Structure 1
Amino acid sequence: MPDGWEWDRTLFQGSAAHYERGRLPYAPGLAETVARALGLDGRGRLLDVGCGPGTVLLALAQYFTEAVGLDPDEDMLAEAERQAGRRGVGNARWVSGRAEDLPAGLGTFRTVVFAQSFHWTDRDRVAATVRDMLEPGGAFVHVSDDKGEPAATTPLPWPASPYAEIGALVRDRLGPVRRAGQGRLVNGTPGREDLVLERAGFEGYEEHVVPAGQVVERTPDDLVAWTFSRSDSAPHLFGDRRAEFEEDLRALLRRISPDGRFAEHLPATRIMIWRPPRRKG
C-alpha cells in the first residue's frame, strides 16, 4: 500500500456516481486483446478485484460463464449492478469485500483481473492468495493506463484538460499532502508489480499495449466528475466546503476555456499477464 496510508471505508466515499462521466475509458479493444491473449472462449469464471463500478468486468463478462466483481465500497457495487442492468449483462454478480478477504469462499477462477486497483492492496499477500485461486492455465491480469507511450501528435482542437491546475486547486483546499480516506498518501502509487508477482511465484510474464491516442472532448461537467471520482479529491474530503470548492473549480475551468470545451488524447492501455507455474504430477 502507499506509504503512510491505511485502508478505510471512506476511501472513495461519494465517488461512485462520478466515475462513468469523469473517468476516460480504456483504449478501444481492451476486452478483445485480453480475450485473444488468454484464449477466452466463453467458459470459466472471471474475478475482478477492486471492480469499482464494473468498467472492466462488464467489458469482459461476455467471454466467461460467470463474472464476479469484488469491491469494499457498497456505492461502487450498486453502480456496477446498475450498469450491468443497463447493458444487459446477466452473468455478473457483485460481492462486498476487500482483496485481503480473499479467497472468501469464492472458489477458483480462470482469470483474476486488477484494473488500477492492485496498488491499494497488501500486494504480496494478495498475489500469493490469488495464485492459489487460479485454475490450471489461469492468469493474473493487471490493467492500467500506459503513461509511458509516446504522446499523440494530433493537435488538440480546444484547450487541454487542465489537470495540473485542478490539482493545484485541490491542494490549496486540502493541503499539500495527498489525502485518501481518513489517511494520507505521502509517496504516491507503488510500482514494480513484476517483482511482487515474482515473489508470489508467478512466471510466464507477457505484456500487451492497446493503442489509443484519439482526441476526446471533455466538458466542465466531465472534469468536475473526474475530480470527485478520485480518492484524493473525493467529495467527502471537502466537508461542508464541497459546494464552495466546486464553484471555484468551475470558475477555474471557465477562465481556461470560456466556451466550456476541453480536449485530450485517450491514453493507451497496458495489459500485463502472469501465470502461476504449472503444477507437477
Structure 2
Amino acid sequence: MDSGWEWDETLYAGSAEHYAVGRMPYPAVVATVLAEELGLDGQGRLLDVGCGPGSLTGVLAPLFASAVGVDADRDMLAEASRRCGELGVSNVEWRHLRAEELPSDLGPFRVVVFAQSFHWMDRAVVAGRVRGLLAPDGVWVHVSASTHQGVDGEDGLTHPRPPWDRIQELVARHLGPVRRAGRGFLPSGTPSGEQEIMIEAGYRGPVRVRCGGGVVVARSVEEIVAAVFSLSGSTPHLFGSGRPVFEAELRGLLMGASDGGLFAERTREIELVIWRP
C-alpha cells in the first residue's frame, strides 16, 4: 500500500446496502467453469475471504458441502446472510474477521477464494495463513473482476453508457483529487505484484482461466448511484453532511446523460487465477 496508509474499519462503511443494487452480479458461468476446472463434486468446504455482501459466496457455495464467508465489516455480513437467504443458499457460516486474523483451526478447505479483496490486506501474512488452511488437494482462487462498471467502448448499445469520467470528476470535486480509502488516502491506488507474493509464500502456478464478459445489460440511474456508493473511494460516510448535495448533483448528471433514466454497459471478462500450495 501507499506509505502511511493503514486499513481501518470505515473502509466500506455504509456501502453494504448499495452492493446488491449497484454491482452487476457474478454470472453463473463462473461456478460452471470453476467446477469443471477443479472437478468439484459437491464435497469439501469453501472459504470466501473478504466476502463482502456474499456476491460470489452465493454463487459458489452450492458447489460444496459447506462454506464460510469472512469479512471485516459487520454490515457486509448481514447483507450477505440476507442475500444468500433469498437465494435459498443455506450452507454458509458467516464470520466477522479480518483476513490477517484467520484462525489456524478454521480449515481445512478445498477452495479458498478472494474476489476483489486481496489488495486490501497484508498480503504476505494472509498468503501464509491461508496456506495452512488448505486441504492437501486444496487450491487458492483469485477472482479478478470489476462488477461496478462495464467495458469502455464506442460500439453502439441499447442505451448510452454511464458517463464514468464525469462521475469521477464529480467525486473529486466533493472529496478532493486524491483517492480516499477509509480514513486515509491512496494517491497511487492499491498495490500490484500478487504473483511475487504468492510465489514467495510457496504457492505453485498460476493457472489462469477466463470466462464471462461481453453481455450487454441495462442499468438504471438508481443502479449507477448505488455503484458509486459501493466503491471504497466514494463510500457514503466520506461525504459527511455534504452527501445530499453530492447525490443531487450525481442524479442530475445521470438523468441528463441517460436515455429516459436508462444506461447500458457490456460486462467485463472475469479471470480465475488458480494457485496450489
| TM-score normalized by the length of structure 2 | 0.94
**Deviation (angstroms), 1:2:** 4.7
SS of the residue aligned with 2:32? helix
- Alpha-carbon distance in 2 for matches of 1:180, 1:86: 31
* CA–CA separation in structure 2 for the residues paired with 1:133 and 1:125: 13
Structure 2 residue 150 is the aligned partner of structure 1 residue 181: no
The superposition leaves residues 177-205 of structure 1 with CA deviations (integer Å, 9 ceiling, x where unpaired) of 11111111121122232111101000032
* 2:215 equivalent in structure 1: 214
User: Does 1:48 pair with 2:51?
Assistant: no
Task: Give the Cα–Cα distance (whole angstroms) in 1 for the partners of residues 37 and 253 of structure 2.
Answer: 44
Q: Aligned pair in 2 of structure 1 residues 154, 164: CA closer, same or farther (>3 Å)? A: closer
Cα distance in 1 for residues equivalent to 2:269 and 2:25: 10
The Cα offsets for residues 114-161 of structure 1, whole Å up to 9 and x where unpaired, read as 0010000000111111111101010000001279xx977852122111
**Does the Cα contact within 8 Å between 1:50 and 1:114 map onto a contact in 2?**
yes
Q: In the aligned structure 1, how far is the partner of 2:261 from the partner of 2:35?
A: 38
The residue correspondences of 1:18-167 to structure 2 (distance < 5 A) are 18-103=18-103, 105-145=105-145, 155-167=156-168
Do the aligned partners of 2:162 and 2:258 also contact (CA within 8 Å) in 1? no
**One-letter amino acid of the structure 1 residue matched with residue 217 of structure 2:** V
Q: 1:135 & 1:116 partners in 2: Cα distance?
A: 23
Unaligned runs of 5+ in 1: 277-281
Residue range with higher mean Cα deviation, 85-94 or 99-108: 99-108
Q: Residue type of the partner of 2:205?
A: G
Q: Gaps spanning 5+ residues in structure 2: where? A: none
Instruction: Decide whether aligned partners of structure 1 residues 199 and 44 sit closer, same or farther in structure 2, where only a CA change above 3 A counts.
Output: same
Contact 1:4 1:186 in 2 (8 A): no
Are 2:145 and 1:171 aligned?
Answer: no
String of CA shifts for 1:12-31, please: whole Å, max 9, x gaps.
Answer: 01000000110122344011
Alpha-carbon separation, structure 2, partners of 1:25 and 1:144: 14
Partner SS, residue 55 of structure 1:
coil
Q: Distance in 2 between matches of 1:2 and 1:274?
A: 26
Q: CA deviation at 1:169?
A: 0.3
Shift of 1:3: 4.3
- Whether contact under 8 Å (1:3, 1:186) holds in the other structure is no
Q: SS state of the match for residue 141, structure 1?
A: strand
Shift of 1:254: 1.8
Q: Secondary structure of 1:77's match?
A: helix
Amino acid aligned to 1:114: F
CA distance in structure 1 between the aligned counterparts of 2:11 and 2:146, rounded to whole angstroms: 24
- Runs ≥4 residues deviating over 4 A: 150-154
Partner of 1:191: 192
In structure 1, the residue matched to 2:274 is 273
CA distance in 2 between counterparts of 1:27 and 1:86 reads: 17
CA distance in structure 1 between the partners assigned to 2:43 and 2:103 by the alignment: 21
Distance 2:168 2:146 in 1: 20
CA displacement, residues 92-124 of structure 1 (integer Å, 9 cap, x when unaligned): 010001000013541221111000100000001
* Residue number in structure 2 paired with 1:264: 265
- Separation in structure 1 between the aligned mates of residue 146 and residue 36 of structure 2, nearest angstrom: 19
Q: How far, CA to CA, are the matches of 1:257 and 1:92 in structure 2? A: 39
Which residue of 1 is the match for residue 17 of structure 2? 17
Q: Summarize the Cα distance change of 1:86–1:28 in structure 2 as closer, same or farther, 3 Å threshold.
A: closer
Distance 2:146 2:185 in 1: 25
Given the superposition, is the C-alpha separation of residues 173 and 153 from structure 1 closer, same or farther in structure 2, using an over 3 Å criterion?
Answer: closer
**Number of residue equivalences:** 275
TM-score for the superposition, normalised by structure 1: 0.93
Q: Which residue of 2 aligns with 1:279?
A: none
Once structures 1 and 2 are overlaid, which stretch shifts more, 204-213 or 175-184? Answer: 204-213
User: 1:222-261 alignment to 2 at 5 Å?
Assistant: 222-257=223-258, 259-261=260-262
